Chains A and B, each alone.
Chain A
């Protein structure tokens, strides 16, 4: 019989103490090698603990800290904690308590220790050895000695990194197929839920290297980049270097880069700035599927007296360049069309729109919100044909609260934030040097990782959609066959309301999205889907799964299985 730790044990430590007796004993069923599902596919041939040995299934809770004691001594030939050749790594006599935690591999297959065997002891003792990716190697973490206090996952970073297969391993040597032991549970602590994070279109986990690049600016480099002393110069140099690197990646000139407080601010600056530069006489043309940052800004400008024209989309969510150009008049100041939609991932023909718009009125500035696109698409501002481009760092492994707006030389733009005149007067406010450095680090990482990203994520999405279609034959994929971002999967599951489905997915540890939600988190009917002709009922049956830089192809299979399970009983 499988041991069961109540997954309901998600509660404060205080309550927890009252719920659990200090000690209880249970058996871990012997794993069956024949059921080793990993087949050597997960990383380095390390076997996953088969289902029977699991205490926690994907999405179920996993202990933040757990202490166990073995009920019998381990013989010297027990490869309980061994290297990949089966050689014991810990003298049996030293082996009293075991803490095993299996996380996952995140799509990053390079982690210290993985080639030489399980990570032993380092997590707890080694100086800075373990960052989130190391810790969650497929071998789990083992402690050779009784642990003092707790093994605290939070030490190792953002919980959203912990995409887990979710086992707590009870002495199973997963490197050479585990075996059953009897263990006594000594104590356990706060339980955290692990998740399969597939909501990268909402935001992405920050890349550890990004934080490494930013860290000096949270510490020793603190100057105000606008000053004239040494501390200021350090900051200024870092800022301008970041600007150059960002420009280089986009095929732009450094002074065409304006760092902002994020994608929303970039969009506001582009639209309001262009409309204001036209003395508020400038009209705005945009599309019905833009992000709220554009649509609400356009609505605000309408209130100020600007004319705003919204162009619709076809049933696949695509904008027609000629229709956009048709809406452009002599008084149009700015046209805004997103590079790809944040809900459906449908790629928009920005270049064609730009060409058609310029043919209609060469004086119009063409803006594109490329927040979703950058992580998977090479963006060159000239190839894109855009005069202004918005980016948000947190969509590609960077920090939240920083973005940029590319502004082509010659484009008239009034500032919307007034003050010290930073960023060539286009964006006042003390420079966010740390943010800019982090953003650019993330841009470079994304650019250099794109090839891998596209392959991995594309495979994950293929497996997800194919797997889900087997379980749900009437599944609809809401996008054209080609022409969508590789990381988005936007599907309709007939008969299943997304609000309920998302909760059931959350219960199973899968973080996905309805594509549109309000501030409270309640699902709302998407304006994008409405523009595509969805009625409320169909719109409420849509699910967005978005893959990212931590995704492995296996995640696609897992996600399909979880969704298929979650819809059971709802249809």
Chain B
């Protein structure tokens, strides 16, 4: 089998590539070039450097597999960045990593992998896939600490047929051990805090350059409208954020509302964030059709534990009602529904 491994330069995708080589597949490594430079300037006569890709390139060399850098700047701009900016001004908090998976990695890259004659696309995500007589299933990664199935909920049957997540079958520690044993240069590379090619906080700098509007200073107010301070741009805030507010109030305060139109950030107490019911749109069901209404574990943020709630699919979306109120439901984020370890589906949160 010929496989393409999307290599970010981190240890997970490095090991994924090595595992594929070891399984005896013909492996191609690829890194996506997602933007031109820190200022996102249009391609010029000058050259771009993809410093992130150098580790990937070296690992590919070590594994002795062909390696390519693929230009996805246009797709990333239209599918992720433009949408981020657009959504932002609608008062949403999009998840660029989910969008990148949806519009770049598991759509166009998947097609391009096929153009390269590859049977499957492999990534370093911590998730598992299984197939039985009912079709493909998307499961949480073996390592509960590292599970990334949340950002993969958009994968349907046709995608799951063409993707593999080899490191999802093992723990992160095993991944590192494997990398050490093979002597991969990325073995000791620190974990990225973010989940995809968009590095640690970089997208904010990137977006500041892309859209100065989101970097306008504005007021920080409490829930009564009393001004508590100022900020340098609503882009620095997300719903439920507690740290980095730049204001000391003697008790924990959270971002409970963001109004991009007036550049206003509203702070409140944790209980102000509590929500019992919300809706999702653009729902995707792994099985290809919605499940019967029922109780599922609902995960509303990558780093937040799932909580049980009743999910009632309706045309193109679903209504969710938590058993207990939950905090920090941010429109634009993904809500993903689990039945045990299995991803049933998910969608984009539209109303808190």
Contacts and interface: CB of A to CB of B under 8 A. Distances in A.
Q: Decide whether A and B assemble into one complex.
A: yes
Contacts, number: 88
B49 interface: yes
Nearest to A190: B64
Main DSSP-derived SS at the B contact region: mixed
Contacts of B117: 504, 507
B50 A520 contact: yes
Interface residues of B, number: 34
Contacts of B196: none
Nearest to B65: A10
A570 B43 contact: no
Contacts of A524: 43, 48, 71
B71 A523 contact: yes
A299 B24 CA distance: 50
B44 to A, nearest CB: 8
Interface stretch (B25-33, B132-140, B238-246, B281-289): B25-33
Nearest to A500: B115
Nearest to A18: B22
A71 B33 CA distance: 52
Interface string B110-136: 001001110000000000000000000
Nearest to A514: B71
A506 interface: yes
B43 to A, nearest CB: 5
Contacts of B49: 518-520
B69 A522 contact: yes
B22 A15 contact: yes
A570 B114 CA distance: 10
B126 to A, nearest CB: 23
A468 B127 CA distance: 45
A295 B45 contact: yes
A344 to B, nearest CB: 16
Q: Which of A7, A190, A506, A518 has the most CB of B within 10 A?
A: A518
B25 A8 contact: yes
Interface residues of A, number: 33
Contacts of B228: none
A2 interface: no
B188 interface: no
Contact of B71 (A7, A8, A499, A519): A499
Contacts of B71: 499, 522-524
Nearest to B115: A500
B66 interface: yes
B46 interface: yes
Contacts of A34: none
Given A6-B24, A499-B71, A11 B116 contact: no
B46 A520 contact: no
A22 interface: no
A209 interface: no
B47 A518 contact: yes
B2 to A, nearest CB: 7
A503 interface: yes
Given A18-B22, A503-B28, 13 more contacts: A8-B2, A10-B66, A11-B21, A15-B63, A292-B47, A295-B45, A299-B45, A500-B112, A504-B117, A520-B49, A522-B70, A524-B48, A524-B71
Interface of A: 6-8, 10-12, 14-15, 18-19, 190, 193, 292, 295-296, 299, 499-500, 503-504, 506-507, 518-525, 527, 569-570
